[in-house]
Structure 1
Amino acid sequence: MQALSLCSLRMVRGVTLAARDRGFNEAMLEASWIHADGQSIVLASRLTKAPLTERIATTDFFHDAARAAVRHGLSFYVLGGSETQNKRAVDQMLVLYPDLRIVGRRNGYFKREEEEEICREIRDSGADVLWVRLGKPLQEEWCVRNRDRLHGIGWIKTCGGLYAFLAGDSPRAPQWMQDMCLEWLFGALKDPMRLGWRYLTTNPYSFYRLIRYTKANPIFG
C-alpha cells in the first residue's frame, strides 16, 4: 500500500500557499498524512480539541527514517535539488548511515514531459521510499500527479530543505529559536534578499489565518 506524506513546513509556506494556491491546497488534501514541520502549527493546534504533541521537522525525522530503513533493509531514492546539492546530500546520508541502501538519485531539473521516464527509473530502482525536494508547491503537485506512476514505492515523502541541511548549505536555527517559532527569523537574517520580503508579507497573513480559521474541533467540525 502506497503512502503519500506531505509536510506543512512552516507557517509561512504551508498556511499561506494553502489559502492562495488552489492546486497546492488540493494536493495537500490528497496526502495520506500531513505533518506539522513548524512550531506555529503546533501552538495553533492547542486551541483545538486535538492538539499536536510536538512538531515533526523533516530534518530531524529523516534520521529516524534512516535508522528504521537500515534496521529493516529498506531502500531510498533521492530526487530533487541541484545536481551538486543532491550528490552532497546523498554522500552525507551514507557518511551518517553507512549501511543505508540508496538505490538511486536524480537532481530536480527536468521538464514535465520527462516525468514518465523519471518515474520508470524510480520504479526500476526498487526503492521503498522516495524523497522529493522540488520546492513548494511544485513538489506536492508533482507527487500527487505522479503517484499512480510509482507503483511499488511504499512511501513518497516531500522533504523541503532537507538536502540543503545535509549538504551543509543551510544551517539549522539554534534550538531556542526553533522552540520560540523563530526559525523564519533565522532564515531571514541568513538570506535577507530572498527571504526577508517573503516573511514580511506572508507572516502576518499566515498568523491571521491560523487565528481566524483554526477550529475548536478540527476532526468533526
Structure 2
Amino acid sequence: MQWTYLPSMTIGGQQVVTASRSELTEALISDCHAFRRNDRPFGPRLVFDINGHGLSLSKTDASYRSALASADIIHADGGFLVTLSKRLNPTPITERSATTDLIHDFALRAREEGIRFFLLGGSEAVNAACARNLEEIYPGLSIAGRHHGYFSHEDADAVIDLINHSGADVVFVGLGKPNEQLFSVKNAHRIRSGWLVTCGGCFNYVAGEYDRAPEWMQRNNIEWLHRMATKPKQFFWRYLTTTPHALWIVATEAMKQRREQKT
C-alpha cells in the first residue's frame, strides 16, 4: 500500500512537506481509509511537527534527531519556517500547519468520514476536557479512546493495548518534545492505526487551558511571541534560546546548500 504522496523541501537540514493544511487533511482521510482496507501490518504513518524548538533540539539531542529521521511526514508547525522557505526555495511551504489548527481541520473531515481518534497525552483533566470539547464542537466525531500522558515505562504496554482495542484510525500523541517522537518511533510497529500524529501541548488549547494568539499574530507567523509573553515561566527561556539557534541553523544550512550548488 502506498501512502498519499506529499511533496517536500529541505529547510534547516530537515525534509518538510510543502502541503497546505487542506492537503494534509485529505491525505489523512485517504491514508486512513486505505489503512482500513489493507490493515498495514508494520505500523502507522508517522506524522511529526517541526518548529524552532524542534529544529534547535535536533542539533543538540541525538535521540530526537534519530526519531525525526524516522518520520514519514514532517510539517511546519513553526511559522518562521514558512516565511524563510519563501525566501530560500522556489517551491516553498504553502502555509503554517500548526497542530492546534490541524486537529480541528482533521476533526471536521473525520466526522464526515467516520474516522476515529485516540487522544494520548496531557493531564487527565486536560485530556478529558479536550475530548469533551472536540465532541461538542464536532457532533458525531468519534473519540474512540483516550489516556493521559503521565504513564510509566511499565504502563506503556497497557496503553498500547488500549489504543489498539479502541479501533482508532488516528492517534494524537501529546507528550511534548522529544518524548512524543521517541514514544512514536519506538512503538509504531505495535500500534494499529493509520496515522500517528505528534501534537505537543495541542490538547491544552482545545481544552481551553491555553489561549491562542490574536489572528494578526497568527497570520504573521509570530504566535511564539504571544506564548512567550503570556506564559513566561513555561516558554520565555525556551524561545529565548531556541529561536536564535533555529535561525542560525536555517541560515548556515542555506549557505551550505548554495556552496554545494556552485561546486
**Taking structure 1 as the reference length, what is the TM-score of the superposition?**
0.92
Partner of 1:120: 161
Q: Which residue of 2 aligns with 1:83?
A: 124
Distance 1:161 1:141 in 2: 16
Identity of aligned residues (%): 39
Moved more, 191-200 or 16-25: 191-200
Q: Which residue of 2 aligns with 1:174?
A: 214
Residue 202 of structure 1 corresponds to 242
5+ residue gaps, structure 2:
1-39, 259-263
Q: Is the 8 A contact 1:75 1:100 kept in 2?
A: yes
Give the match's secondary structure for 1:71: helix
Shift >6 Å, 4+ stretches? none
* Mapping of residues 122-201 of structure 1, within 5 Å: 122-150=163-191, 152-201=192-241
Aligned pair 1:71/2:112, yes or no? yes
Deviation digits for residues 106-153 of structure 1 (CA, Å, limit 9, x no counterpart): 000011122122111110111111111001110011000000111x31
**Considering only aligned residues, what root-mean-square deviation do their CA atoms show, in Å?**
1.5
SS at match of 2:243: helix
Cα pair 1:4 1:31 within 8 Å, conserved? yes
SS in 1 for 2:177: coil
Which residue of 48, 54, 62 maps to 1:6?
A: 48
Distance in 1 separating the partners of 2:216 and 2:60: 31
Contact map agreement 1:5 1:31 (CA 8 A) in 2:
yes
Q: How far has the Cα of 1:181 moved from its partner?
A: 3.0
Provide the residue aligned with 1:105 in structure 2.
Answer: 146
Amino acid at match of 1:149: R
Deviates further, 63-72 or 80-89 = 63-72
Answer with 132-141 or 177-186: which moved more.
177-186
- Which of 103, 115, 126 is equivalent to 1:62? 103
SS at match of 1:171: coil
SS in 2 for 1:153: coil
Counterpart contact for 1:75–1:101, Cα < 8 Å:
yes
Alpha-carbon distance change, 25 to 94 in structure 1, aligned in 2, over 3 angstroms = same
Take 1:71 and 1:207, find their aligned partners in 2: how far apart are those partners? 40
User: Across the two proteins, how many residue pairs are aligned to each other?
Assistant: 214
2:14 aligns with none
Q: Deviations over 1:69-101 (max 9, x none)?
A: 111111111110000000010010011011001
Q: Partner amino acid for 2:75?
A: H
Matched, 1:36 2:69: no
Equivalent position amino acid for 1:52 in 2: I
Structure 1 window deviating more from structure 2 (172-181 vs 133-142): it is 172-181
The structural deviation recorded for 1:44 is 2.0
Q: Distance in 2 between matches of 1:4 and 1:193?
A: 31
Per mean C-alpha deviation after superposition, the further-off stretch among 177-186 and 154-163 is: 177-186
Q: 1:18 aligns with which of 55, 58, 75?
A: 58
Query: Offset of 1:193 from its aligned partner?
Result: 2.2
- Residue 15 of structure 2 corresponds to none
TM-score in terms of structure 2 length: 0.78
Q: Secondary structure in 2 aligned to 1:60? A: helix
Q: Amino acid of the residue matched to residue 16 of structure 1?
A: S
